[in-house]
Amino acid sequence: MSRTDLESHLQAMANPVSTIKEACSWLKAKGWMLAGEQYSKKKLADILLTVVIVSKLPTEANLAIRLVAFLIRDLMEEDLSSSLADKIADKIATKLSQPIDNLNSSIASAKTFLDATSQKQATELLNLQDMVKHSA
């Protein structure tokens, strides 16, 4: 079934839930979630596995719900790994950019110093040449 067909079919069935807010309220009313608790992939997977344990479902439905719960957990672990990898990469990039920034600053300071020194030496050389001319 396409997603549109699936949604149409589900809306045609008797259903007390049609929004995310209603879904959370229903789960809280049934005791599947605590008041104030946020839903997450881990929580949703745990709810599905609990449903499998406490409900007498046909074998096919039981298996499908278990598989979906395991897939949700796997996605959660992938997201966590990806997030950690991104954070580590950001830390490394920050650590590497600081020495480079310091190096750039040091080079700029050294260039300024050398420019000033060269300017002073040039001025002193001109003054020395003038003194030699006057002395001669």
Residues 19 and 5 in one domain: yes
Count the domains in the chain.
2
Q: What is the pLDDT along the chain (136 residues), one digit of tens a residue?
A: 788 887 787 777 777 777 788 888 888 888 888 877 788 888 889 999 998 998 899 999 999 999 999 999 999 888 888 888 888 888 887 777 777 777 777 888 888 888 888 888 888 888 888 888 888 7
In 3D space, the residue among 17, 101, 24, 76 whose CA is nearest the CA of residue 7 turns out to be 17
Show the domain range for 27: 1-39
Residues 117 and 101 in one domain: yes
Residues 82 and 58 in one domain: yes
Residues 91 and 101 in one domain: yes
Contact status, residue 3 vs residue 18, Cβ threshold 8 Å: no
Query: What's the rounded Cα separation, in Å, for the pair 43 and 49?
Result: 10
Residues 15 and 34 in one domain: yes
Put simply, whether the predicted model's pTM sits higher than 0.75 gets the answer no
Output phi, psi for 86, to 5 deg: -65, -40
For 101, the 3-state DSSP assignment is helix
